[in-house]
Chains A and B, each alone.
Chain A
């Protein structure tokens, strides 16, 4: 029936696309004219925010090694959270508006799904460097780390689950924002900032109004941060976060991540399908 050649196929396509897009993301993220500027961005920016929060705590008279430790881990994790949340949207909008390649990628057998994940994972990994810088700063500030070193088993359980959960949420944002104009570039940042306030990164959940506390408790990111605090500091957070047994914390994180991944690919595909239907995929709103 067919004029020539077999129709290629195979489950490895998605993995190839993911790796190829990760390589691209590495080239893009590392494309600073001078490496010193990239390093400064990865170091100075997170440390400046950390300094800001500590200054606020100091003014409030609640600065001690326990609160510094609380804020340091929250701030460190959030470097990764914001990068993963913003990654897919930035990748899709950049490809559409700046590089103008989205039509060519979309017209390949590869789905935009693994392509967006690959870009997001690299962004999050680079942000991991900033996270380490923040934790290092905490150690220099005298934050007592867990006796005997980090609980690597807990880190190994919590870190991938948390990362998966934020990448999943980032994918949903990407599918939504590709339907919008170029200025949607900053929308994930707004979401990321909101999540930052909700998930117990810089203050205990008890500070939040009651109903909002329930939202915060439903976010896997909240338990990701708490899990890492336990793994790295060896202590629990004050309030309801601290009362949760670690195995239950892991269960909540796992279930939350599973729910996100049950929903997020469908929402992403629905968003891309709508963009295709409306003609938003192959347009340029920047010029």
Chain B
């Protein structure tokens, strides 16, 4: 897919949304600018009440923006809703939606009709999705009898029926156990891999999920995007330089910490700790050096210098900040604290 000729999967400019509440107007979104390219898995990370769901509702045509404009693959979400709805789908996590009295297959068949699929094609897709999500064995079970995980798999199966170009996932793994959440994430990845250009917009407040899945992430709070970029780029905002932990048996007698600091590309060197719990398990002491580098490639020079001095290398690992640390720096509080603020 050519980026120069294809419209953006999502192009939002100055999206704002104000709700009228009893206590006065509440700003849920405040000038969101967003561009997501086809094929991306884009994450919107933020605490409860940050505006993530409102953004998805606007982009999926459920809600009108108060200000700004947005398009999905070039189709305006306000004026071209019928066309937008043909190329997108939506899954919201944590809800218990569904007609409890219908069977799994009946509900999917009904939605296949709503998506405008001819009956035979629709039923073929229903059966394919049942198999794909591993819920073929419960096809005739009433929805009221499904577990939370099964319901969410059904919800995902529904969302794939119309072969959406873009899938909006609003906290899709919330309330799921580890295994079910992993299944869902795997299926989303497979969905994108099956057809180049399929785009996913995922909102979550699970840092690890965002880090693991997303090509790019926007961190939002109080209706504003505070930062966006790849997970690596966001982490670089907190930690500009590469930081490696190098474990050696001991510092060579002819070499000082200052000598290491003087090596090309080295910014900082600090002895973190010395202990006897080296990974080889032989009980010999190990010195860990925290080495800050201008770039990863400078590590080679450091290792060579240590080896030339007679140090035995026992451990190398790259230390990266977590998205949680990025979030704390940008938002000024942890995501769990943010949720308490929002809920409280």
Contact = CB atoms under 8 A, between A and B. Distances in A.
Interface of A: 1-5, 7-10, 12-13, 16-17, 19-21, 23-24, 27-28, 31, 99-101, 103-110, 115, 276-279, 281-282
B114 A115 contact: yes
B102 A106 contact: no
Contacts of B1: 3
B95 interface: yes
B82 interface: yes
Question: Which interface residue of A17, A31, A99 has the most chain B CB atoms within 10 A?
Answer: A99
A13 B83 CA distance: 13
B145 to A, nearest CB: 14
A4 B165 contact: yes
B113 A17 contact: yes
Given A1-B5, A7-B83, A99-B98, A27 B106 contact: yes
Q: Lowest 3 CB-CB distances: which A-B pairs, in order?
A: A20-B113, A3-B197, A100-B97
Contacts of B73: 2-3
Interface string B53-85: 000010011111000000001100000001101
Given A109-B85, A277-B64, 15 more contacts: A1-B6, A1-B7, A1-B74, A4-B165, A4-B195, A13-B116, A20-B109, A107-B60, A107-B62, A107-B90, A108-B111, A108-B115, A109-B82, A276-B63, A281-B62
A99 B1 CA distance: 39
Interface in B13-50: 19-20, 38
B95 A279 contact: no
A4 B64 contact: no
Contacts of B100: 99
A128 B31 CA distance: 54
A20 B110 CA distance: 5
B203 to A, nearest CB: 14
Nearest to A6: B86
A264 to B, nearest CB: 20
A20 B85 CA distance: 18
Given A1-B7, A3-B73, A276-B63, A27 B115 contact: no
B92 interface: yes
Nearest to A99: B99
Contact of A103 (B5, B74, B92, B106): B92
Interface residues of B, number: 47
Interface of B: 1, 5-7, 19-20, 38, 57, 60-64, 73-74, 82-83, 85-90, 92, 95-102, 106, 109-111, 113-116, 158, 162-163, 165, 195-197
Contacts of A1: 5-7, 74
21 contacts: A5-B163, A5-B165, A10-B116, A24-B99, A24-B102, A27-B101, A27-B102, A99-B97, A99-B98, A99-B100, A100-B98, A103-B92, A104-B90, A106-B62, A107-B88, A109-B86, A110-B114, A276-B64, A277-B64, A278-B20, A279-B57
Given A1-B5, A1-B7, A108 B99 contact: no
Contacts of B162: 108
Contacts of B64: 276-277
A99 B92 CA distance: 14
Contacts of A13: 116
A276 B65 CA distance: 10
A99 B63 CA distance: 20
A46 B114 CA distance: 35
B9 to A, nearest CB: 8
Contacts of A31: 101
Contacts of B163: 5
Contacts of B74: 1
B106 A8 contact: no
A283 to B, nearest CB: 10
Nearest to A14: B116
Nearest to B119: A16
Contacts of A277: 63-64
A178 to B, nearest CB: 13
B165 A108 contact: no
A27 B99 contact: yes
Nearest to B199: A3
Contacts of B196: 3-4
A101 B57 contact: no
Contacts of B63: 276-277, 279, 281-282
A209 B86 CA distance: 53
Contact of A101 (B20, B60, B97): B97
B98 to A, nearest CB: 7
A103 B60 CA distance: 10
Given A24-B110, A27-B102, A104 B97 contact: yes
B113 A19 contact: yes
B86 A7 contact: yes
Contacts of B106: 27
Given A5-B165, A103-B92, A109 B115 contact: yes
A281 B81 CA distance: 15
Contacts of A24: 99, 102, 110
A105 B85 CA distance: 10
A3 B114 contact: no
B38 A3 contact: yes
B89 A3 contact: no
A105 B162 CA distance: 13
A108 B195 contact: no
A107 B99 contact: no
A27 B107 CA distance: 11
